[in-house]
Structure formats: structure tokens, C-alpha cells
Chain A
Amino acid sequence: MPVTQLSTRLPHGAAGSAPAASQPRIRIRDVTLSYGPLQIIGGVSLDIVPGETICIIGPSGCGKTTLLRMLAGLAQPTSGSVELDGAVIGGPNRSVAIVFQDYGKALLPWRTAAGNVSLALEARACPRAERPAIIRELLEKIGLGRHTEKYPAEMSGGMQQRLQIARCLAQEPKVLLMDEPFGALDAMTRQALQDEVLGLVATTGATMVFVTHDLEEAIYLGDRIVCLQPNPGRVGRIVDVRLARPRDQLLTREDPEFLRLRRELYDLIKDDHQ
């Protein structure tokens, strides 16, 4: 049963950024998408308010990437519509950044880490003199401060993925789409980056849609968790996460509410994964 949920509740991360009656940043309305006879997405509706962090979970192949691509304007729905601030998304747009799942292909192999971040600055005509400082700051934030002159081929998968995140942040987007960005990271780096991303989202007021396979990651990051069901992809349940912000790797994860949510989600998706 597809659930349409009009959220009027303000997320914790966006204190004061929008009045309660504000229009959603992103509105997904009865979206379907088919490749030929095959329906990939079958009727998804979802509103996302400014500053909110939505996590999407679901089994492999259920259409998470496809949904993100529609939000990025890289794919058009077969029916229904996707709107950004009330205007239909007709194509890619600088204010919606996407971190691709296949990080190896999304980076320019002939540019160093600094050069790859610079591309986003060049695209938005940021003055040449200002670029080095911005690049340095972003790369430091994302933990690549000592690797600015490395080529992607000289970096590990996790480093490449972080580089992609840095480039997206350089875009200064209103909406940040992340497709399993931390899949290639070890647990410690992963937690550090979760906090880094949450901090960035809180300070910039960006809206985030975050795809992950990791239930705990979804709970830790999200204001709401959307469980997608496969064949065709549709919204199964939307779970509200009422955990205080800023979140803390130890305290939040020990919170009884966190454990309860983990249990709830686990039971929910168990059936989709047999």
C-alpha cells in the first residue's frame, strides 16, 4: 500500500529555516517509471520539506538509484511528476547535487583531487582566486587534506567516494542526493563522515536524500526513513525518527528509541529480503 505522507513537521536540523506551512522542497507525485514493458517504479509519492534528511532503504534492485536519478533530473518519470520548490524538474540542475554509487566512473581520472573539486567551482564561475581556499577547506573537511594532489587512480575506493562528496558540496546545492556513499568505507571513517555530513547539512540547511543498505546508518542520519519495496519499486512504509539532534555516535546509538527503531525496521524489511 503506497503511503502518501504530507509532512508538516519541521525536522530538527532545519530550525527556523521554513514556516510550518511552507511548500515542500521536493514533491514526488504518483511517479512511475518504465523501461520498455518493464515497470521499475510503480507509483511513488513523497514530500520532502526544506532541511529534512530522508533515508531510503530497500533491497538491491528495488529502484533506489532510479528514484534518485529522477530527483537529479537525469531520468524522467513515465507518469507523475517530480517538483523542486514547486517547479517540475525537467533536467539536471546545479542546485541538486548527486553522489553517484559508482564513484570510479564519476571522477575525472586526468584531474587530481583538487582538480576534481575545482570542476564544480569552474562550473559555477567561482573566481579563480577564491578556488584554492575553498578546495582546501572542503578536502580537509572530508578527510582528504593530505591527498589534494593525488589522481583518483591513486586513491582507495573510500577516498574516491569522499572526493565525490567534496565536489558535490563545492556545488553548494540546495538538495544533496547520496547513493550509498559510505559503502566502501571502514566503520570508523564511516562514522566520522556521517557526523561530518550531518554537520554540513545542518549548517547549510541543505535537504538530503540518502540511500543506504545499512539500517543503523539510516536511523542515525534520517528524519524519516522510506522503505522501498521491489517489483515495481514503491513506498512500503515511512518511519519517523524522533531522535534528538545533534546526534552522537555513542549516545544516539544507545538510545532506547534507536534500538526500538532498529528492531521495527528490521522486522519491516525482513520480508522483502528473503
Chain B
Amino acid sequence: MVAQALKIIPQQAGSAINIEAVSHRFDLEGAPLPVLDDIGFDIEPGSFVALLGPSGCGKSTLLRLIAGLDHPAQGHIRVAGAEVADPDPSRILVFQDPTLFPWRTVRANVALGLEAQGTLKSEGHRVDEAIRLVGLSGFDKAYPHQLSGGMAQRVALARALVNRPNVLLLDEPLGKLDSLTRLAMQTELTRLWQQSGLTAVLVTHDVEEALYLAQRVIVFGPRPARIVADLAVDLPYPRHRGDPRLAELRHEALGHLGLDSSW
């Protein structure tokens, strides 16, 4: 069903992302708290990259910088060659919490982007397509409190996809789901990404999730975040969770996180 619905989504060009010598710090009770330390890497247009790292190292901060919600203290972030200055619907961040607007129905939540950009009248059909895409047809009139956690997260995904972004930034979007829904959503995510051609950047705690989904996994060290490894996951899609190569890579990634003794 999902595959069928996906045919409606036209190919969209993913954008390249260049992160150049980015450092960032926060003010915590007057004392500076360095969070990102001279981070630099490039992301190919249309690729799927996962960011892995210990809690509190600055992964969410980096995504917010790419989204344009904050500005880096030092360094440059360019998307499709242009310096990121402000949030833009071509780069959409999906938060860990679905954070749907409780006073809007599912349909109105998904439509928000088009409404804000003033294209709802001409592009309204995209709303229904996006809802179908995440498998929530029939729930368009439901309010967020009537949805399960997994459904809410899918609405958040549809709310992002309806804008046909070139870059999709995912901040642990599956973190709060039960393990079964999580596995199903992982498969859906890869399909969505493959069909749409957008650039996907996924932040996750889950090493297996990162390896199963992404073409490339960037591992950060503890705060202030520095890149400690950049692993290529050279496996074709669809992937199999039991693949011995994934197990190898997992061992390697855990080693970089300092957790290999538990393996």
C-alpha cells in the first residue's frame, strides 16, 4: 500500500549539505558550555546519513543549526550551496516529540506548511497524498489526542513531507515508539527516502537503527562533540537485519563509542 501511494510523490532533488569548521557553545548560568567543536563534513545530495553519539554531545544542536533555528558561533553551514540563515520549508526538522498542534485535526496539522506558505489552495491534494503515504487515511478528522504515539509520529512525518523538502532532518523520530512499530517505521522511512530522493539526516541513539537505515554513519565523541568515526555502510537496500556485515559494522561503531566491551 505504501509503495503504491509513493508513486504519487514526484522525485525531488536532495540538496548537498556542507558543514565547515562549525563550533557552537551555549551559555549555562553565565559560563560558556562548548557543545560542538570544529565539526566539518559534507553530505552528498540525496544520501542518507545517520549521526550517532552519546547523550548530550550536541547532535540535536547540530540539526537545529542545519535547520536554521540557531546560528553557529563559528563556521559555516551551507545547504545547496547557500549559507543557512533562517528556517525554510526546504529543510524540515522532525522533532523527537511529534509536537502536533492539539487544536488542529490530523489534516490541518499536515496542511500547516502549505497554509503558512500560502499554497494550500493550489496544492491541497498533496495533503491527502501525504496522509495516505504514512498510512493514516481515514484519520484526517481525528485530533492529536485521539492518536497513538506511533500514529502521531507518522503525522509529524507527513507534516514534513507534504512540503517536499530537499533536506529532511530527523531528530530521533522513532525514539519513543515501541519496538514493533519502530521496526515497521524504519522500513517505511527507507522506502520514503528512496522514492523521494531527498537528503536525509537522522540523529539516533540506536546503533542498529543507524546502520540499518543509513548509507553513512558519523560517530561523535562526548561533548564537546567531535567526529570520532565516519563509517560507510556499503550495503544495498532493502537490507536484512541479520546481515553479518551489519554485525561487523555494529561492533566497530560500538568500539568508537567506547562500548565494545559489552559486545
Q: Do A and B bind each other?
A: no
A residues in contact (CB < 8 Å) with B: none
